Structure 1
Amino acid sequence: MNKKEEKTLQKFAAPLGLSVDGKNGVIYGEYEGYHVYLIQVNHNSYSFAVNFSLNKAGELPQQDEVKQIVKESKDIIDCVIQGYQVIYTLRGGMTVAKTVDKLGLSLQTISAFLHKLGYQDTCALCGTNESDVSLYTVEGSPAILCDDCFKKQQETISIQTREQRNVKEAILSGTVGAFLGSLIGAGAIILLGQLGYVAAISGIVMAICSIKGYELLGKKLSTKGIIIVSVIMLMMVYVGNRLDWSISVANYYTDVDIFYAFRILPDLIREGYLEGSQYYGNLAIVYLFSAIGAIPTIMSAIRERKQTQESYKM
């Protein structure tokens, strides 16, 4: 997350006596005897999901008990139980100040409710109530764990990381995957173009499908893979855009088929039958939006790869 987003989260966390982990973008800490972490689920209305890990006399949380509070509070809008984890979705406000007030009141209400029912802070994996329960990040995701379970998770991650490193990148299969993905992108260029839209969104479709296609069949995405995907996208954006215009030409001149129109398209532009500035302008837009789709997707893949190797105590 960027510094601006982290500062916004700090405005929510500080009044509650909680902290912010800037790496994974969560608010975390101890609140009224419970370890909690909050994840923002709606940036427009500042709504949050607060995560607890609970047991009652060593038993898993009872759905009918922990969900009762949703019916009693207008600001607690949902409750999901996943093993020992209990996740409440909290309604936010339109401003930071109003959201802080709502969060504080909701957390007080929930913690008092859970204490009254006899629920205790516990490890999300083994359900222990030992004092070493704490907040951790495991593969980039927050978790409430005991020390033993965290160590076991680290060992599992180390094994998986070693196995992933040993996986060889299938460049040929990845290239096929990228090509197949690019066909979907080219189809989007043609379909949207024929519907009369400037095919901007199709560039994003092209980028995402090509990259995901390479990852799916190639097993991993290396720098070499990124170069291959980029070359394929450059080619297929050009082909898709040219096919779109060729179909339009074939529809206008009934004695011309699509393949002949595709072949003579440069001649039609050069001789003024087609507006060159419009053709190349549309092509530039699709290239631009392919880049807009590709760069975040590639950065996300790199970031996810780094995050899966990050595990630490918050």
Structure 2
Amino acid sequence: MFKEKIRVLLLGGSLTDHGSYADGNYQGYPVVITTESTVYHVRINAVSTQDPDNAQLAQYLEYQKQNVKHLADYSCTSTSALLTIKMPAVNGNKVPDMINSVVDPLIQYLHGGNYQPCCESCGSTQEYLSNYEVNGSYHYLCTSCAQQIEQNLQQNQQTTRAKKSNLVAGLVGAFVGSLIGCVLWVLIYRLGYIAGIAGAVTAICALRGYELLGGHLDRKGVIISTVMMLVMIFFANRLSWTWDAYDALKDEGYTFSECYQYLDNILDLSELTGSYYSDLFIGYGLTLLCSVRRIIDAFRTSSGSYRMKKAQ
């Protein structure tokens, strides 16, 4: 995550870099740093008897957001503050100064307000804290809260796996939902582009359609929705090429349905079969690129699977 020369300058070198995240204790407070897209997320756990629900802390962070250049956003709960810090555009060597300029004033504020490090879940200041990974995010928790969260995740898994969807209704929902993406694909193609975003919309709408009408998005629902997405992309690409063929042949008396029916022959005669399948494969590639993470997440959610472990 951070090069060593950057890590040693970041928050006094107090954090350990684990590759996908960095964590540690900075001036008495548990800190976790993760990165996403063009920002860093910094989470700090703290509570104070003088500031119930961290209302004053939220006011302070709002002031900082308006006056500190690199603080793009924040969220504040009764037990923690999450800072969103902009990445430098060019020079990565500026990262330590940038993060320090946001975090150090907050740490001073916490010390001045007698805020204590705490468990993010229960707010206890008396328990030993460890950093836990929970479904890809990182949280400092006490042992009892970590055990309770894992029990809740296990119970949710059992409940989710016990649910069954209405296959027929879900199939209709996936079909109707994927039609939306199909229409978007054709419209974008008419503008001269092959858009993976249209494929991603097809996946999202198919999954959502199955869930709405099927009553629950289970594993078979994810599989059916994914297959429906692939079929609709094939259909959308064929419609797009049919429309182009119709534009070229309508003056010769061809109807749209005839162009669709005889598209393979038209492509052969025009020596465009290779281009047709090239567009189709590019479309599939862009679609998978844009939607594979959502499909994987849908599989995980549909089975209630979870990931929780003490961070190393």
- Give the structure-2-normalised TM-score: 0.78
Distance of aligned partners of 1:163 and 1:244 in 2 relative to their CA distance in 1, 3 Å threshold: same
| Aligned residue runs from structure 1 range 192-207, under 5 A | 192-198=188-194, 201-207=197-203
Name the structure 1 match of 2:75.
80
Following TM superposition, by how much is the alpha carbon of 1:38 offset from its aligned partner in structure 2, in angstroms?
1.7
Name the structure 2 match of 1:109.
105
Q: Deviations over 1:246-266 (max 9, x none)?
A: 333334415433223212323
Name the structure 2 match of 1:50.
42
Following TM superposition, by how much is the alpha carbon of 1:191 offset from its aligned partner in structure 2, in angstroms?
1.0
CA distance in 2, matches of 1:162, 1:274: 55
Paired amino acid for 1:60: D
Secondary structure of residue in 2 paired with 1:49: strand
CA distance in 1, matches of 2:53, 2:296: 39
Paired amino acid for 2:43: N
Secondary structure of residue in 2 paired with 1:196: coil
Residues 9 and 27 in structure 1, CA contact (< 8 A), matched pair in contact too? no
Residues 207 and 293 in structure 1, CA contact (< 8 A), matched pair in contact too? no
Following TM superposition, by how much is the alpha carbon of 1:91 offset from its aligned partner in structure 2, in angstroms?
4.2
Secondary structure of residue in 2 paired with 1:108: helix
Aligned counterpart for 1:145 among listed residues 141, 164, 167: 141
Following TM superposition, by how much is the alpha carbon of 1:307 offset from its aligned partner in structure 2, in angstroms?
9.7
Distance of aligned partners of 1:196 and 1:79 in 2 relative to their CA distance in 1, 3 Å threshold: closer
CA distance in 2, matches of 1:90, 1:111: 16
CA distance in 2, matches of 1:245, 1:56: 65
Following TM superposition, by how much is the alpha carbon of 1:42 offset from its aligned partner in structure 2, in angstroms?
4.1
Following TM superposition, by how much is the alpha carbon of 1:164 offset from its aligned partner in structure 2, in angstroms?
1.4
Coordinate RMSD, CA, aligned: 3.4
| Aligned residue runs from structure 1 range 213-224, under 5 A | 213-214=209-210, 219-222=216-219
CA distance in 2, matches of 1:109, 1:181: 49
Name the structure 1 match of 2:128.
132
Q: Deviations over 1:210-238 (max 9, x none)?
A: 4554466553453x556544543443223
Name the structure 2 match of 1:259.
257
Q: Deviations over 1:116-137 (max 9, x none)?
A: 1222222333332214244333
Q: Deviations over 1:84-126 (max 9, x none)?
A: 3222333443333221233234433321222112222223333
CA distance in 2, matches of 1:230, 1:64: 45
Secondary structure of residue in 2 paired with 1:178: helix
Distance of aligned partners of 1:210 and 1:9 in 2 relative to their CA distance in 1, 3 Å threshold: farther
Secondary structure of residue in 1 paired with 2:46: strand
Per mean C-alpha deviation after superposition, the further-off stretch among 176-185 and 211-220 is 211-220
Distance of aligned partners of 1:294 and 1:127 in 2 relative to their CA distance in 1, 3 Å threshold: closer
CA distance in 1, matches of 2:304, 2:32: 18
Q: Deviations over 1:62-92 (max 9, x none)?
A: 1334444445544444443223322233344
Residues 156 and 304 in structure 2, CA contact (< 8 A), matched pair in contact too? no
Aligned counterpart for 2:53 among listed residues 33, 50, 60: 60
Name the structure 2 match of 1:156.
152
Aligned counterpart for 1:17 among listed residues 11, 14, 26: 14
Residues 50 and 89 in structure 1, CA contact (< 8 A), matched pair in contact too? yes
Per mean C-alpha deviation after superposition, the further-off stretch among 25-34 and 189-198 is 189-198
Name the structure 2 match of 1:188.
184
Give structure 1 stretches of 5+ with no counterpart.
Answer: 1-6
Paired amino acid for 2:154: S
Residues 119 and 127 in structure 2, CA contact (< 8 A), matched pair in contact too? no
- Give the structure-1-normalised TM-score: 0.78
Name the structure 2 match of 1:286.
283
Paired amino acid for 1:262: Y
Following TM superposition, by how much is the alpha carbon of 1:33 offset from its aligned partner in structure 2, in angstroms?
0.8
Identity, in percent, stands at: 27
CA distance in 2, matches of 1:191, 1:26: 41
CA distance in 2, matches of 1:69, 1:269: 62
Residues 214 and 221 in structure 1, CA contact (< 8 A), matched pair in contact too? no
Name the structure 1 match of 2:22.
27
